[in-house]
Amino acid sequence: MTKQNEPLEPLIPFAQAAKILNMSERTLKRRVHDGEIAVIRDGAIVSFAPEDLRFYIATRRIDGK
């Protein structure tokens, strides 16, 4: 969570988030619909907080043996 005095990181647009996660926009839409990744909705605009993308990536990481 961001402290009051820290600047906010910019939100990441939907298409850019799909590229960052290396998945199609259709797959990302499915992940959002299934509740696997948090989004920020402002009317029809869907964006992602950078920390939510980091969390999504971290929760899917599998360490090698």
What are the angstrom distances between the C-alpha of 54 and each of 16, 37, 65? Answer: 14, 10, 23
Q: What is the pLDDT of residues 3-60, one digit of tens each?
A: 677 888 999 999 999 999 999 999 999 999 999 999 999 999 999 999 999 999 999 9
Distance (Å, whole) CA 62 – CA 58 = 9
pLDDT at 58: 95
pLDDT at 3: 64
How confident is the model at residue 65, as a pLDDT?
Answer: 72
Contacts of 43 (CB under 8 A, 6+ apart): none
Residues in the chain: 65
What's the pLDDT at 5? 77
Instruction: Read off the amino acid at residue 35.
Output: G
**Per-residue confidence (pLDDT) for residue 1, from 0 to 100:** 54
pTM of the entire predicted model: 0.82
Q: Which residue has the tokens 């990481």?
A: 61
